[in-house]
Structure 1
Amino acid sequence: MRFFSKRLLKRGYDNYEKFMNFNSAYRRDGKYDDRSRDGRRVYRTVALVLVCCILTSLMVGGGLYMKLSNDIKELTMLSANQAKADTVIGNRAVNLESALKLASDSGSSVTNIAKKVGPSIVGIRMLTQSPRSWYFDDEMAQSKAEGSGIVITADGYIMTNYHVVQYADPKNSRSKNTTLEVFLADKRQAKAKFIGGDPKNDLAVIKIDMDNLTAAELGDSATLEVGELAVAIGNPLGLEFQGSVTAGVISALNRTVSVDDKTLNLIQTDAAINPGNSGGALVNSRGQVVGINTVKISVSGVEGLGFAIPINDAKPIVDQLMMFGYVKGRPFIGISGREITDAIARQYDLPVGIYILEVTPDSGAAKAGIQKGDILVSIAGKDVRTMKEVDNIKKNYKAGDSVDVTVVRNGSKVKLSLTFSEER
């Protein structure tokens, strides 16, 4: 037992000696030991590698966790959006199914509606010849626009949107180089004449020299109800898809929509309406035209927002366009001008207002003494800064009414009396 203890003590002492010699820069004999320093370097290197590995693992793991979290969020959002889309599509399907059932119960169907109204819907092509240049060939010098129209009389009167035929308006500088072509549902075609247009309400009338045409039956848009069947007939994306029929419901009534600085009161529908449908018919379950398709909201992720001009609003204007070529009684000033903004006014030391570029002969402005180069600053006691403000004031009057206007001429204010003439 004693012998065993001595051996243990000796072995422990020897191990202690080895440990001390390895972890000390100096041996017991006082000499410097390089192996001891190398050992510490090894330990430090190993420790540094281990720390780097741990940090790298944490960073990679954190990145993977963040990516996984983002993927989960994205999947959740996609699922939610899909659910919303499914709900919208489901609601539209339910609404359309209900409308179709009501129409079927009343003896109508989309097929019968299309057969009744289809022959009255035409395609319209507006061709405008631009001045040729040596740089462009003949094909590029000619622009083409296509839309839809509705035959309203058997002798060839057709109503449509003004923007579909605007370059054919004699008031437009391009009218001399513009021609209109009409394509009927029975494949016949004819040249058309511009009869009259109303840019403010986006309505126009053209005419072809043909008889015995099928005129559309006009309905009463005042009797429309939200949820009832609505059928759109026209030429989406042009004549290639002439006579396309889409069905939906009346989504809302009396929608106020601003289009190109015009504010229109419109019918909203989810029946598919696309470029080329403009000027076509929105039809009720009895096959009567209750609206003129005019605009669609085209925003990514938005569907089923089409709008039509109510036929009750359009018909009085269309009647006047057929009779006179313009809307009678509408006040007309007779000026064209450029708006002087605050910045321009400061730069050129001018008053804010409308710089008169042109005065129409025999107009109210001409008879009042307004001259080219004048700056219009007020009408009926109200300051004007833009042409839109001028139009808003003008709406409160009719042809024959008189108002005071103020212009700045050569730096001095001049008050004049203006009598509105009739817009033609």
Structure 2
Amino acid sequence: MMDDQEQEQKQEKVEEESLNQSNNEQIQKDSKFKWKGILTAISAGIISSVLTLTAVTQVDGFQNWITDDNETAVQEQTTSNSESAATSASENVQKVNANATSVTDIVDQASKTIVGVVNISKQSNPFSQDTQEQNAGTGSGVIYKVTDNSAYIVTNNHVVEGASEIEVSLHNDKTVNAELVGRDALTDIAVLKIDGDYDIKPMEFGDSDSLKTGEQVIAIGNPLGLELSRTVTQGIISAVDRSISVNTSAGKWDLEVIQTDAAINPGNSGGALINTNGKLVGINSLKISNQNVEGLGFAIPSKKVQSIVDEIMKNGQVERPYLGVKLVNVTEIPSVYMQNQSKDIKEGVIIAGVESNTPAAEAGLKKEDIIVAVDGEKIKDVGDLRKYLYSEHSIGDKVKIEFYRGKEKKEVNLTLTSNNSSDA
């Protein structure tokens, strides 16, 4: 019995030791799994943190990141990269600031070149035979050229037309008399000269041919008079290559213009339309005024302005092919005066007068002759005739004129000369 009891006690002791050993092994295994999870989480946290600070740092393994030396290295690398990025950004900002031009900068640079133009005309006194000079209107102008003893201004023809005297108001409110160098009614451009020494940087002509719809522009001028001198408005190029039919002192003409929604009002005529580089891309000339219309302003393109200005400076006027006749549209003649003319005439231009010593006079054209074609091109009205002569021919060219004299159709050849009149 004793032997059996001892045997049982030994067996229980063996089983207890076996159980304890198994538990210790399980505890060790669990401990390993726990530490492995903790280390993995720590590793992921550190790697994630480093990638957030700098995306260019390479991670080779967890053990490389838990030493003091490498922790310092990471901090130094991060600081270096941050400083480098900040320096690069600072340099870029400086470059942008150096190249960019704000609206205020453009206006500041351009303001001295914008002038007021006052048209002083002789007016009859209704109570006597005397005449008196009075302000017939104001407009704007742009100084585009400065020499040692004078400055030159471009403005609109309609601003100075009919003036017996022209005054110019400068940016410092000083008023000086201006000389009319020349003007062109059809393109609505005039050039003025003021004498004196002017410390003004003239406005540079820009390239209106490169303008695109939607491009930002600035208009500067004197709307409603000199009290609102050098008013600045901003807008965009609404359209390029527009053609607007206008009535000028030289007759009806299709004016080539730029359309803009920058505010242009009476008094802005002759003022500057400027691009974002501060260059002159147009001379503000007209707007469509209607209670149902907004933002329809028009400017003469700088390329056209520059060519007209150059010709005025050279010749005092724009020289164009010239016939030497006064013309009226057939459609404007009362039917009673057309009874002796051919019933085939539906359109054309009737000669209201022939100037002596001109191509028309030398060719034998007479008053009441009706021109219906030039070089085989049908002529509908005066505008048609001018457009064909000015765009298709030069001074010295020979042309064939087809016309009716009464009910008989005739033709004559003549050589175009330089214009010295406001008509064709």
- TM-score bracket for the superposition, by shorter chain length: 0.5 to 0.7
- Quick one: distance in 1 between partners of 2:285 and 2:328? 29
**Partner letter of residue 203 of structure 1?**
I
Give the counterpart of 1:246 among 219, 229, 233.
233
Residue in 2 that maps onto 1:327:
318
Does structure 1 residue 290 correspond to structure 2 residue 281? yes
- Quick one: distance in 2 between partners of 1:376 and 1:345? 17
- Quick one: distance in 1 between partners of 2:235 and 2:377? 46
Give SS of 2:239's match: strand
Structure 2, unmatched stretches of 5+, are: 1-95
Q: Which deviates further from its counterpart, 226-235 or 362-371? A: 362-371
Verify the 8 A CA contact 1:341 1:385 in the aligned structure 2: no
**Partner letter of residue 339 of structure 2?**
D
**Partner letter of residue 181 of structure 2?**
I
- Quick one: distance in 2 between partners of 1:268 and 1:345? 39
1:205-244 → structure 2 map (5 Å cutoff): 205-214=191-200, 215-244=202-231
**Partner letter of residue 188 of structure 2?**
D
Does structure 1 residue 199 correspond to structure 2 residue 185? yes
Verify the 8 A CA contact 1:268 1:306 in the aligned structure 2: yes
Q: Per-residue deviation at 1:276? A: 0.6
Q: Which deviates further from its counterpart, 271-280 or 130-139? A: 130-139
TM-score (norm 2): 0.66
Q: Per-residue deviation at 1:315? A: 0.7
1:267-282 → structure 2 map (5 Å cutoff): 267-282=258-273
Q: Which deviates further from its counterpart, 362-371 or 188-197? A: 362-371
Residue in 1 that maps onto 2:375:
380
Verify the 8 A CA contact 1:130 1:143 in the aligned structure 2: no
- Cα deviation digits, residues 66-98 of structure 1 (max 9, x gap): xxxxxxxxxxxxxxxxxxxxxxxxxxxxxxxxx
Residue in 1 that maps onto 2:126:
133
Q: Per-residue deviation at 1:313? A: 2.0
Residue in 1 that maps onto 2:144:
152
- Quick one: distance in 2 between partners of 1:179 and 1:161? 15
- Quick one: distance in 1 between partners of 2:332 and 2:127? 42
- Quick one: distance in 1 between partners of 2:406 and 2:209? 53
Give SS of 1:341's match: helix
Give SS of 1:313's match: helix
Q: Per-residue deviation at 1:346? A: 4.5
- Quick one: distance in 2 between partners of 1:104 and 1:292? 29
- Quick one: distance in 2 between partners of 1:344 and 1:272? 42
Query: Taking structure 1 as reference, are residues 162 and 343 closer, same or farther at Cα in structure 2, changes over 3 Å only?
Result: closer
Verify the 8 A CA contact 1:156 1:213 in the aligned structure 2: no
Give SS of 2:124's match: coil
- Quick one: distance in 1 between partners of 2:196 and 2:338? 58
- Quick one: distance in 1 between partners of 2:275 and 2:333? 52
Verify the 8 A CA contact 1:153 1:213 in the aligned structure 2: no
Q: Per-residue deviation at 1:120? A: 0.5
Query: Taking structure 1 as reference, are residues 104 and 239 closer, same or farther at Cα in structure 2, changes over 3 Å only?
Result: farther
Verify the 8 A CA contact 2:118 2:135 in the aligned structure 1: no
Does structure 1 residue 392 correspond to structure 2 residue 387? yes
Q: Per-residue deviation at 1:403? A: 1.6
Residue in 1 that maps onto 2:102:
109
Does structure 1 residue 120 correspond to structure 2 residue 113? yes
- Cα deviation digits, residues 152-211 of structure 1 (max 9, x gap): 11122111111111224xxxxxxxxx2111111111212222212222222111112223
Verify the 8 A CA contact 1:331 1:422 in the aligned structure 2: yes
**Partner letter of residue 416 of structure 1?**
V
- Cα deviation digits, residues 280-302 of structure 1 (max 9, x gap): 01112222111111122222233
Give the counterpart of 2:161 among 147, 158, 166.
166
Verify the 8 A CA contact 1:344 1:350 in the aligned structure 2: no
Q: Which deviates further from its counterpart, 336-345 or 257-266? A: 336-345
Give the counterpart of 2:365 among 370, 380, 384.
370
- Quick one: distance in 2 between partners of 1:375 and 1:145? 39
Q: Per-residue deviation at 1:392? A: 3.1
- Quick one: distance in 2 between partners of 1:392 and 1:164? 24
Q: Per-residue deviation at 1:257? A: 2.7
- Quick one: distance in 1 between partners of 2:369 and 2:388? 19
**Partner letter of residue 123 of structure 2?**
S
- Quick one: distance in 1 between partners of 2:316 and 2:118? 21
Q: Percent identity?
A: 39
Give the counterpart of 2:340 among 316, 331, 350.
350
Residue in 1 that maps onto 2:411:
415
Query: Taking structure 1 as reference, are residues 269 and 355 closer, same or farther at Cα in structure 2, changes over 3 Å only?
Result: closer
Q: Which deviates further from its counterpart, 143-152 or 217-226? A: 217-226
**Partner letter of residue 159 of structure 1?**
V
Does structure 1 residue 184 correspond to structure 2 residue 170? yes
Q: Per-residue deviation at 1:413? A: 4.8
**Partner letter of residue 126 of structure 1?**
N
Residue in 2 that maps onto 1:96:
none
Verify the 8 A CA contact 1:162 1:199 in the aligned structure 2: yes
- Quick one: distance in 1 between partners of 2:414 and 2:297? 41
Q: Per-residue deviation at 1:408? A: 4.5
Verify the 8 A CA contact 2:124 2:131 in the aligned structure 1: no
**Partner letter of residue 393 of structure 1?**
Y
Verify the 8 A CA contact 2:124 2:130 in the aligned structure 1: no
Query: Taking structure 1 as reference, are residues 344 and 259 closer, same or farther at Cα in structure 2, changes over 3 Å only?
Result: closer
Does structure 1 residue 404 correspond to structure 2 residue 400? yes
- Cα deviation digits, residues 342-368 of structure 1 (max 9, x gap): 873445523255443332343322332
- Cα deviation digits, residues 378-402 of structure 1 (max 9, x gap): 4333454532232233232221111
